[in-house]
Chain A
Amino acid sequence: MLNTLALIFIVIGLFFMIVGAIGLIRFPDFYTRVHATGKCDTLGEGMMLFGIILYEGMNLISVKILLLVIFIFVTSPTAVHAILNVAYTHGVEPWKKGDERR
């Protein structure tokens, strides 16, 4: 039972990862791309690693993976925010409807 739950979590996490990568390609502008990857990656990551925790059960490996998940949930948005802040101050203006792809 636990394995099927882990499988479901891993598949959902994989789906978010793929969607994040496709969003990185298709979106026309820098801000929309960050919009896609910043969130999808953190969530996909958390789900896949949580699936692996369910698969592993209660031992040292799960504790390490839990620490990794918490660490990534804190640092990944922070890094994306740092990039956004720098890009905005460097004058990367957002894309408006009708503009060509940047």
Chain B
Amino acid sequence: MIDIFHASVIILILTVFICLYRVLAGPGWENRLIAVNTIGTKTIVVLVLVGLIYERPLFLDISIAYAMINFISTLAIAKYLRRGCVC
């Protein structure tokens, strides 16, 4: 079962690389923003799987904090573009 987690972590990293193409080549800022949001969602699963492989439950707290941070930064950029100022 553990090697299933190894394989899925490797595959997820490859999909992160696919999203990297959209981050680098994306025509406008919105393509880059959605690609970064996708990468953030994928890395949350990578974190949980790596935490499972190492049998260390502390990784779950990191991935929960990670999910919140990813959400906050996406909303900050959206609010800046919508309102013109963040605060």
Q: Which residues of A contact B (CB under 8 A)?
A: 3, 6-7, 10, 13-14, 17-18, 20-22, 24-25, 30, 33-34, 37-38, 41-42, 44-45, 48-49, 52, 55-56, 60-61, 64-65, 67-68, 71-72, 75-76, 78-80, 82-83, 85-87, 89-90, 92, 102
Contacts and interface: CB of A to CB of B under 8 A. Distances in A.
A30 B28 CA distance: 9
B44 A45 contact: yes
A18 B74 contact: no
Contacts of B15: 17-18, 20-21
Secondary structure dominating the interface of A:
helix
A67 B12 contact: no
Interface residues of B, number: 42
A60 B57 contact: yes
Given A48-B45, A65-B48, A79-B78, 16 more contacts: A14-B11, A18-B15, A21-B38, A24-B35, A25-B22, A37-B37, A48-B8, A49-B48, A52-B52, A55-B1, A71-B64, A78-B71, A80-B37, A83-B30, A85-B78, A85-B82
